[in-house]
Structure 1
Amino acid sequence: MEAVTRNFFLFLSKNNLLNDMAKKRGSSIVTGKIIAGTDFPSSVQIIKDLNSKGLTTTVDHLGEFVNSEETANKRTKEAIQTIETISRENLDSHMSVKMTSLGLDISRDLVFRNMTSILDTAEKHGVMVTIDMEDEPRCEKTLELFKQFKESYSCVSTVLQAYLYRTEQDLKELSVLKPFLRLVKGAYKEPASVAYPDKKDVDANYKKLIEQSLKSGVYTAIATHDDGMIEYTKELAAKLQIPSDQFEFQMLYGMRSKTQLDLVQQGYKVRVYVPYGRDWYGYFMRRLAERPANISFAFKGMVKG
């Protein structure tokens, strides 16, 4: 049943008609619930409120798979402005970007040029930029770019997905760079030739990757809403005597808000993934596909007063 639910929401995430309708009519429903705002300036106060509660954030302008150079350059300019605003407003926040929004599918030169401009600004202001991971066909290109940028910049990090067979080896190769890594289960529909099809296998690999990353000394962000995975990480960190400044938990804005605050009270660092923008529909459907429990979390978030 879980596989059926996942496939259903992944199917919906690619429906262009529903996506267009969501952009035009649905933004007001989800703003302040599962997205912070339709642009970054309108999101700043929500980030400040989260910071005041002891939560740090990473912000993400929703949208991907850009197919025009003009749009990619526009997204780059917006990302630079976001970094400058984070610095000016003294926000405790990172920024996440998708390579496809900066021109990955158009040309390597374009995405490299755009990302270089963003990282030049990030380095100047001391704001970490996380290169989000997308579907498997773009994984190799994304990691190649990350490795190249890591040679020149300190304010760059990336994401690894537990449902891919390749990730254990990717983690081994990246560990020598001592990067900031976010570990996730994965949210795209992938064939069994490249990804574990069964949840139990994804969960087992996720635990293996968490242990591998913590033991290697890599700063590790465990991005999950799964109580079992959270408890596993806490117990593992205690067993391995991993200091609390060597890892953090990451959760989505509008979901598990009480759990986020509880973890902060227990002394753990929690980073909230705060999306903004009008292109929220695909993001939201993939979050529902990741874990059935997210459906109830999202509903509670959207109806809260």
Structure 2
Amino acid sequence: MEVLMRTMFQSLGKNHSMNKLAKKYGLRMGAARFVAGDSTESAIQTSKELNNSGKVVTLDHLGEFVFTEEEARLSTAMCIQTLEAIAESGVQSNLSLKMTSLGLDISKELCMENMRRILHTARMNNIFVRIDMEDYLHCQISLDMYKELRKEFDNVGIVIQAYLYRTEQDMNDLHQYQANLRLVKGAYKESPEVSFPEKKDVDENYKKIIKMHLLNGHYTAVASHDEEMIQYTKRLVRENGISNDQFEFQMLYGICVELQDRLVKEGYKVRVYVPYGIDWFGYFMRRLAERPANVWFVLKNFAK
């Protein structure tokens, strides 16, 4: 049943008609728990509240479907607007983005032009930008573009997914770039031809790449709500004398808040991924697909 539900929500998240319907009716169905409103102002206010609780932030203006150059440039403008709002407000926040929302599926050249505009604005304001990793079909081109951008900008990082077979080799390739990486297990539905089908194998590979990156001396964002992985990271840094300045824990807005607070009290850096915008539906469906408990939360909101 859990696998069936996950597949259903992942499919819904990619449905263009459902996304249009969700835009029309706004942040209902309990999505406000996971999405910080549909405006830059609401995202900045949420960031201030999280900063006041001892956490830092990465903001992401959501964009699930981009079919034209005009839409890609509009998404780019929203990223720049977010960067300017971060700088003006003084909140402690990075920016996260998906390159498909900047026109990657239209042309690499368009996407690179938009990425350079964003990274230039971010560099002027001393803000770090994280490229989110998407599905397997976008993996290689995303890494290729990151490597090209990394030669020009030192304020850019990318995400690596533990559930892919190729990940260890990708980590080795990125070593020379001194990459600032967000390490995740992976949230997209992929074929067993390219990804580990068993959770235990994903978990073991996740531990392997956390250890690889930390021992290589590079900045590491451990993005997980899995307490076993968090405890593993704590032991690893303690046993190897790794400074707390070399890593951070990252979690999603609205998920495991008590765990976030506990880590802050223990002296660890916690960054909360805060998405916002009118294109919230695809992101929301992926959150439901990841954790069945999220589905029951939504059903309770419907009942109310």
TM range (shorter): over 0.9
Q: Secondary structure at the match of 1:37?
A: coil
Cα offset, 1:235, TM superposition: 1.3
Identity %: 51
Q: Name stretches of at least 5 consecutive residues in structure 2 with no aligned partner.
A: none
What SS is found at the alignment partner of 1:106?
coil
Q: Which residue of 1 aligns with 2:253?
A: 253
TM-score by length of 2: 0.94
After superposition, where does 1:1-20 map in structure 2 within 5 Å?
Answer: 1-20=1-20
Q: Which residue of 2 aligns with 1:222?
A: 222
Aligned CA RMSD, in angstroms, stands at: 2.1
Deviations for 1:26-84, whole angstroms, at most 9, x for unmatched residues? Answer: 41554652111102122211110100111000010111341100010111111111111
Counterpart secondary structure, 2:177: coil
What amino acid is aligned across from residue 168 of structure 2 in structure 1? E
Q: 1:262 matched to which residue of 2?
A: 262
Equivalence for 2:274: 274
Q: Counterpart of 1:188 in structure 2: which amino acid?
A: Y
Name the structure 1 match of 2:25. Answer: 25
The aligned residue for residue 162 of structure 2 is 162
SS in 1 for 2:60: strand
Matched residues in 2 for 1:31 and 1:87: separation? 27
Aligned positions of 1:140-179 closer than 5 A: 140-179=140-179
Aligned to 2:44: 44
Task: Tell which deviates more after alignment, 177-186 or 3-12.
Answer: 3-12
Cα deviation, 1:171-222, whole Å, max 9, x if unaligned, reads 1111221121001111111111111111111111111111111111111111
In the alignment, which residue of structure 2 is the partner of 1:283? 283
TM-aligned CA distance change 1:75 to 1:217, over 3 Å: same
> 1:188 is matched with which residue?
188
SS in 1 for 2:121: helix
Partner of 1:135: 135
Distance 1:45 1:29, change over 3 A: farther
Alignment CA distance shift 1:153-1:299 (3 Å):
farther
Which residue matches 1:116?
Answer: 116
- Corresponding pairs, count: 304
Q: What is the distance in 2 between the residues matched to 1:240 and 1:195?
A: 30
Q: Give the 3 Å change call, closer, same or farther, for CA 169–201 of structure 1 in structure 2.
A: same
Query: In structure 2, do the counterparts of structure 1 residues 297 and 184 end up closer, same or farther at CA, with 3 Å as the change threshold?
Result: farther
Unaligned 5+ residue runs, structure 1?
none
Amino acid of the structure 2 residue aligned with 1:98? K
